Amino acid sequence: MNNLKIPVKIIIDSDCFGEIVVINERISFYGEVDPVTGIHKPSGKNINNKILLFPSTRGSTVGSYILYALKKYNNAPQCIIVEKAEPILVTGCVLGEIPLFVLNNLSFNYISSIISDGFKAIHNKGEEWFVVEH
Amino acid sequence: MYLTPYQEKILNGEYGWIYAKAFELIVKIGEVLGAEKLISVNHVHVSGVSYSNIGDYGLEFIKEFYVKGGLAKVYTTVNPGCIDLSNSSRLISNMFYNKQLEINNYLEKMGFKPTYTCIPYLHRRPVLNEHLAWGESSAVIFANSIYGARTNREGGPLTIASALTGYTYYHGLHLDRERVIDTVISIENIESKYYGLIGLWIGENIENKPLIKNAVNDYSSLKILLASAAASGDHGLIAIDKITPKKSYYMSDKIEKINIELKDIEKYQSKTLEFDLKDSKIIGFIGCPHLDPVEFTEIYDYIVNIYSRGRCRLRNYLLISVPYIYNELFINEINVLRRIGVEVTLGTCPIVSTISEKPDYVITNSGKAYFYLKKHKNIEVYLSTPFEIIRQLCE
């Protein structure tokens, strides 16, 4: 088993260790993610306590409140890695105290071609990378 | 990002958890966007307060900021909520009455002014090149384009964070380099009754920063145009030749020139009103954005005039939405209109509320209302002018 190092820019930092869930499309948290169950409805995947990897967000600004609600219902992802962070996502992550990272000089398409659901990854606070068990 | 020692202290929690949280929100968004520093603002306009839009999760967030001791540090106004604050509307549902009042209560206890309007410039007029942190896209574009003030289009939580701290991130339309015009649009020969359509067209088709030439010198028409463009696109600034203060925008060396003609915008105007008015359930809607005092008075005079001449018997709904303060400024006029059968709603509008009776059609003068009622509420909408709407609804 090889370890793969993925460079990231830190937006909201904290330790993060767990299983990766990959969503292959932009997420509109409002309408697509149910904060009471932690399910991303279009893919049917549970994001609770996972390392959530997806390209970026879209849709209503109410999406910020859904991230906040995920935390309140104990269904938030452990941390989020995206290709592009925009204000709705950043707002939600600050409100919900969800660590947030942006891929550093790597495209989502590339990363998602070598990483699948269930891979384990770890990030230690202060380090500008994730290590993925590959 | 550069932070002063005082700002560092706020961020580190020396002034309390809630201010640290609010500050973190501004700093993180600023960092993601590439802002170098923060900037003080003189007026915050808080959006995202309608329970119908933000639901229990939004309510809980606002409640948490209140419960943990948040207080406004700068002058702060508030956008419309989802209920008619005079609780007399037959059209605006009051199913969320208590939830909205709960939100309003938290906001007011944090020291925000109970304005409940999307035209905050009614309460405090921005000055040239003043920095603001406003939500509500129609207000933002009016502040930048008409007054030459500087604000980005902010989301609800960020505006609350700015209200509590008095800061926003120094980026986007706060910077000279982001206020550079690179497209000139001529709208000569297009009557002002089409300005809602022009706005929708610009929002959808123009990604750059435009300047509009040959527009009429009429604030009501420009307000409709700007609000429409901000709804269908993500514009925060559209300079208007001879109106937007000169020192608030700059011209690029390379300018693209565009002419808009009536045929370009006609696709939005779904035919003329061909349906049978008598057999349809129709809402005529005026007041998106909220009517300013001059607009309200003109419409009041017009309605009272044709009514007193026996030329108006309203068969359908005529809805007029106005700022909450008109409860004090125009209470007599509002009572007269209500006796005639006009719905005058205070501190709300159909865009941010739930409509109790879905109509067959809405006729409105607002391109913004056209955009949202069609897209989000799936209602058939026609565009017209205020006086024409009133005439059409009178028997």
Evaluated on CA atoms B202, B203, B206, B210, the torsion sign reads positive
**Which whole number is the average pLDDT over B247-263?**
95
Cβ B35 vs Cβ B25: under 8 Å: no
Q: Which of A62, A66, A87 sits opposite B29 (nearest CB)?
A: A87
Active site residue A116: no
pLDDT, tens digit, 9 for 90 and up, residues B1-24: 999 999 999 999 999 999 999 999
Neighbours of B295 (CB within 10 A): 20
Task: Establish whether domains B5-176 and B277-393 are of one fold.
Answer: yes
The pair of structure tokens assigned to A95 is: 């409100």
pLDDT, tens digit, 9 for 90 and up, residues A86-112: 888 999 999 999 999 999 999 999 999
Q: Which of B28, B60, B155 sits opposite A72 (nearest CB)?
A: B60
Residue B161 one-letter amino acid: A
pLDDT, tens digit, 9 for 90 and up, residues B304-319: 999 999 888 888 899 9
Give dist(CA A30, CA B92) in Å, integer.
24
Give dist(CA B134, CA B41) in Å, integer.
10
**Which whole number is the average pLDDT over B90-117?**
97
Quote the pLDDT of residue B392.
87
Beta carbons within 8 Å of B98's beta carbon, 6+ residues apart: none
Chain A residues near any Cβ of chain B (below 8 Å) = 11-12, 35, 61-62, 64-66, 68-69, 72, 85-88, 90-91, 93-95, 102
Architecture of the domain defined by B5-176: 2-Layer Sandwich (3.30)
Cis peptide leading into residue B289 (ω within 30°): yes
Return the residue matching tokens 């009042």: B101
Give the model's confidence band at B320: pLDDT under 50 very low, under 70 low, under 90 confident, else very high: very high
Contact A11 B48 (CB under 8 A): no
Does residue B278 register a pLDDT over 70?
no
**Which whole number is the average pLDDT over A11-34?**
94
Chain B residues near any Cβ of chain A (below 8 Å) = 21, 24-25, 28-29, 31-33, 48, 53-58, 60-61, 155-158
Beta carbons within 8 Å of B121's beta carbon, 6+ residues apart: B139, B142, B143, B147
What's the mean pLDDT when you consider all of chain A?
A: 94
Q: What angle do CA B164, B169, B172 make, to 5 degrees?
A: 135
Quote the pLDDT of residue B394.
84
**Which whole number is the average pLDDT over A44-68?**
92
CATH of B277-393, one of 1.10.3720.10, 3.30.499.10, 3.20.20.70, 2.40.110.10: 3.30.499.10
Give dist(CA B287, CA A69) in Å, integer.
33
Residues of A in contact with B57 (CB under 8 A): 35, 62, 65-66, 68-69, 72
Residue of higher predicted confidence among B61 and B267: B61
pTM of the model: 0.92
Domain ranges of chain B: 5-176, 179-269, 277-393
Quote the pLDDT of residue B234.
86
**Which whole number is the average pLDDT over B340-348?**
96
SS3 B113: coil
CA-CA distances (angstroms) from residue B46 to B27, B66, B69, B114?
Answer: 18, 14, 18, 11
Contact B32 A88 (CB under 8 A): no
Q: Which of B29, B33, B53 sits opposite A62 (nearest CB)?
A: B53
Q: How many CA atoms lie within 13 A of A67 on its CB side?
A: 29
Contact A61 B25 (CB under 8 A): no
Does residue B275 register a pLDDT over 70?
no
Give the model's confidence band at B30: pLDDT under 50 very low, under 70 low, under 90 confident, else very high: very high
pLDDT, tens digit, 9 for 90 and up, residues B170-199: 999 999 999 999 999 999 989 999 999 999
Quote the pLDDT of residue A30.
84
DSSP codes joined into one string, A55-114: S-B-S-TTHHHHHHHHHHTT---SEEEES---HHHHHHHHHHT--EEEESS--HHHHHHH
Residues of A in contact with B31 (CB under 8 A): 11
**What percentage of chain B reaches a pLDDT higher than 70?**
97
Does residue A51 register a pLDDT over 70?
yes
Does residue B265 register a pLDDT over 90?
no
Neighbours of B98 (CB within 10 A): 11
What's the mean pLDDT when you consider all of chain B?
A: 94
Contact B61 A35 (CB under 8 A): no
ipTM: 0.80
Evaluated on CA atoms B356, B357, B358, B361, the torsion sign reads negative
Quote the pLDDT of residue B168.
98
